Amino acid sequence: MDWSKLTFSYTKTNTLLCRYFRNGEWTPVESHTEDDIKMSAFAGALHYSIECFEGLKAFRGKDGSIRLFRPEENAKRMQRSAEYLGIEAPSIEMFVDMCIQSVRENIEFLPPFEATGASLYLRPTLIGFNPQLGVQSSKDCMFMVLCSPVGAYVGGALDAVDAVIARNYDRAAPNGSGSYKVGGNYACSLKSLNVAHEQGYKAVLYLDPSTKTKIDEFNSSNFFAIKGNKYITPKSDSILPSITNMSLETVAAHLGMEVERRPVPVEELSTFDEVGECGTAVVITPVHKLVDKPFLESDEETVYIYGDGTCGPKSLKLYQYITGIQKGEIEDQFGWVKVIG
Ligand SMILES: Cc1ncc(COP(=O)(O)O)c(C=O)c1O
């Protein structure tokens, strides 16, 4: 494999693991070499989006060992999502064990330490499985762990991107599903994302859906900003609780920065030194140009520029710390990594 050519896209691997929740209990783990699955066309996942998923990564360390980054946090977040959908969730132990088995069965797809920005991405997925017509939580589920080797999400790691605020679109409703990792949230973001892509923007930034005065998050990542020595990130009920963001807050505090998680008014955008996206896919993506418009299709623009198109110094330091822990180059003093081989 040419690890340097990997992007954030699908590559067929050796196996897909699955277990079914049926008649009130989980079946034993099955390992399938094909990644097509057989299910009823009436399954709740297909009609009512009774589906939630997770994303985490396995890394090959400098010392040759394999590390998962905070898998228990992903397991807990899936349990929250499943509870929201009213379906059975895997236990933390079952979730983590299947992630470990998936890495072991697909070990030749785990990029070597030298492949900068590359990793084996794991996609645990839980779907409502039984045939149904009525709108209700599915009683049977299928839990799968899929994997694919990946490189940087967009362009290269730390390439700065341009993003746009979508004032006339929301990805989440007030008191809605925004803080859960359910597939429906992503379907809801596609229209605005497609319009933004056509205009050359890589990412869409959403505002709080009730007042449209505060920053929420990007389509597939949290928002953070650096102001002086402060790490600032939005506090909102309609954003996904990002495990990367949580980790960045801890690292920022550890490195002597002040950390503020609070409502972030849009007017504050002009005061930031650095702005970025954060998430599992690339840890940090710096934002160079952020455009605000009265509505997405409008030509009227307020433009905010951050840095010179490269990653700002504080964001870079945070990025290096997290990726250093993930690849075993920096001591894991927070107990975040699970060494699995
Ligand atoms: C909407 C959204 N927000 C934030 C994140 C970042 O979360 P995490 O850091 O747990 O990957 C993701 C996923 O990566 C996401 O899809």
pLDDT band at 318 (very low <50, low <70, confident <90, very high): very high
**Centroid of ligand 1 to alpha carbon of 307 (angstroms):** 24
Asked whether the predicted pLDDT for residue 127 surpasses 80, the reply is: yes
Ligand 1 pocket, CB under 6 A? 55, 217, 220-222, 240, 242-245, 279-281
**Model pTM?**
0.97
Residue type (1 letter), 219: N
Among the options 57, 76, 181, 212, which is catalytic?
Answer: 181
**Centroid of ligand 1 to alpha carbon of 37 (angstroms):** 26
pLDDT tens readout for residues 41-100: 999 999 999 999 999 999 999 999 999 999 999 999 999 999 999 999 999 999 999 999
214 is catalytic: no
Return all residues near 258 (Cβ < 8 A) that are at least 6 apart.
Answer: 229, 230, 231
Asked whether the predicted pLDDT for residue 170 surpasses 80, the reply is: yes
> Got the DSSP string for 175-234?
TSSTTS-BHHHHHHHHHHHHHHHHTT-SEEEEEPTTTS-BEEEESSSEEEEEETTEEEEE
pLDDT value of residue 7? 87
Q: Do domains 3-150 and 161-326 have the same CATH topology?
A: no
**Centroid of ligand 1 to alpha carbon of 39 (angstroms):** 28
Q: Would you call 330 helix, strand, or coil by DSSP?
A: coil
> What CA–CA distance (Å, rounded) separates 90 from 92?
6
Q: Specify the CATH class of 3-150 in words.
A: alpha beta
pLDDT value of residue 90? 98
Asked whether the predicted pLDDT for residue 248 surpasses 70, the reply is: yes
Q: Does CATH place domain 161-326 in 3.20.10.10?
A: yes
CB 144 within 8 A of CB 54: no
CB 19 within 8 A of CB 27: yes
> What CA–CA distance (Å, rounded) separates 84 from 259?
30
Nearest CA to ligand 1 atom 6: 279
> Got the DSSP string for 233-257?
EE--TTS---HHHHHHHHHHHHTT-
Report the residue among 182, 206, 238, 244 best suited for mutation to probe ligand 1: largest number of ligand atoms under 8 A from its CB.
244
> What CA–CA distance (Å, rounded) separates 41 from 49?
13
Q: How many CB atoms lie within 10 A of CB 167?
A: 18
Q: How many CB atoms lie within 10 A of CB 309?
A: 13
- Segments making up each domain of the chain, as ranges: 3-150, 161-326
pLDDT band at 282 (very low <50, low <70, confident <90, very high): confident
Question: What value does the mean pLDDT of the chain take?
Answer: 96
C-alpha 200: how far from its chain's center? 22
Which residue pairs, CB below 8 angstroms and at least 24 apart, start in 215-219? 215/264, 215/265, 215/266, 215/269, 216/171, 216/172, 216/178, 217/242, 218/163, 218/277, 219/171, 219/186, 219/189, 219/192, 219/193
pLDDT band at 152 (very low <50, low <70, confident <90, very high): low
**Centroid of ligand 1 to alpha carbon of 205 (angstroms):** 13
pLDDT value of residue 225? 98
pLDDT tens readout for residues 283-313: 999 999 999 999 999 999 999 999 999 999 9
pLDDT tens readout for residues 94-122: 999 999 999 999 999 999 999 988 999 99
C-alpha 184: how far from its chain's center? 15
pLDDT value of residue 159? 86
